[in-house]
Amino acid sequence: MDYIWQGLRDSLRIIGSLEPEFLGTVAISLKVSFISTALATVLGVPFGMWIAEKRSPGARAIITILNTLMSLPTVVVGLMVYSFLSRRGPLGEWGLLYTQTAMVIGQFILAFPIVAGLSVSAVAGLDKRIRTTAVSLGADTTQSFRMYLREARYGVMAAVVAGFGRVFAEVGVSMMLGGNIRGYTRNITTAMALETSKGEFAFGIALGVVLLTVALAVNILFGLFRERSR
């Protein structure tokens, strides 16, 4: 047990001293996850709101697929994107493998179904009179959509926060597509896996504390938005 306590004590020292490598790893995690979540938000929220309004069997099938993809294993996404980006793959000549861009692509694929699927739920719970009311008061198509989005804001924010939580904590995509290159694609989760395998518990635990803190903050935000959307 001693080495665990020792690891905890050392991790607090690492966090307190704000070592450049520690901060760099956290920054890469935040940057890649923010970009992939932002892309998933820009595309997933309008898509979710659009598909939620459709009544066709095709739309229902898409919603079912989105819900299924919410629990997509990260290594499957990693493998899929890897096969496209590797040298032998159809997009191999782009040279994206083991870059932050590849990590963003993989994390986007993870976040999109969550953001879109939860946006569907956020919109499905809205009052059907919102758009008619806006139009009856003189709103054009864009203005009525903006009001619709505004009314769904807490549910949509919860969707975005859930998407961020998913990609920030994943390891499969980052490891397979980023390659865990020090100072470039090494993020919190891949660094933790590496440091643990090296027996460097302190650094791993310090990163784990940051991961847990962010996960806690994300969950608190998610809960707040869910509460306000009811």
Shortest distance, CB of residue 63 to other proteins, whole angstroms? Answer: 24
# of chain residues touching other proteins (CB under 8 A):
17
140 scored as a contact of other proteins (CB under 8 A): yes
Give CA separation, 152 vs 48, 66, 86, 201, in Å. 12, 19, 40, 43
Q: Which is nearer to other proteins, 114 or 158 (CB)?
A: 158
DSSP state of 91: T
Shortest distance, CB of residue 143 to other proteins, whole angstroms? Answer: 6
**Distance separating alpha carbons of residues 206 and 209, to the nearest angstrom:** 5
Interface pick for other proteins out of 56, 129, 197, 199 (rule CB under 8 A): 129
135 scored as a contact of other proteins (CB under 8 A): yes
Please, which of residues 143-162 interact with other proteins by CB under 8 A? Answer: 143, 147, 150-151
Closest CA to 77 of 47, 25, 48, 112: 112
Burial 142-158 (b: 16+ CB within 10 A, else e): eebeebbbebbebbbbb
**Distance separating alpha carbons of residues 210 and 216, to the nearest angstrom:** 10
Please, which of residues 99-128 interact with other proteins by CB under 8 A? Answer: 127
141 scored as a contact of other proteins (CB under 8 A): yes
Q: Which is nearer to other proteins, 57 or 138 (CB)?
A: 138
Contacting positions for other proteins (CB under 8 A): 127, 129-130, 132-141, 143, 147, 150-151
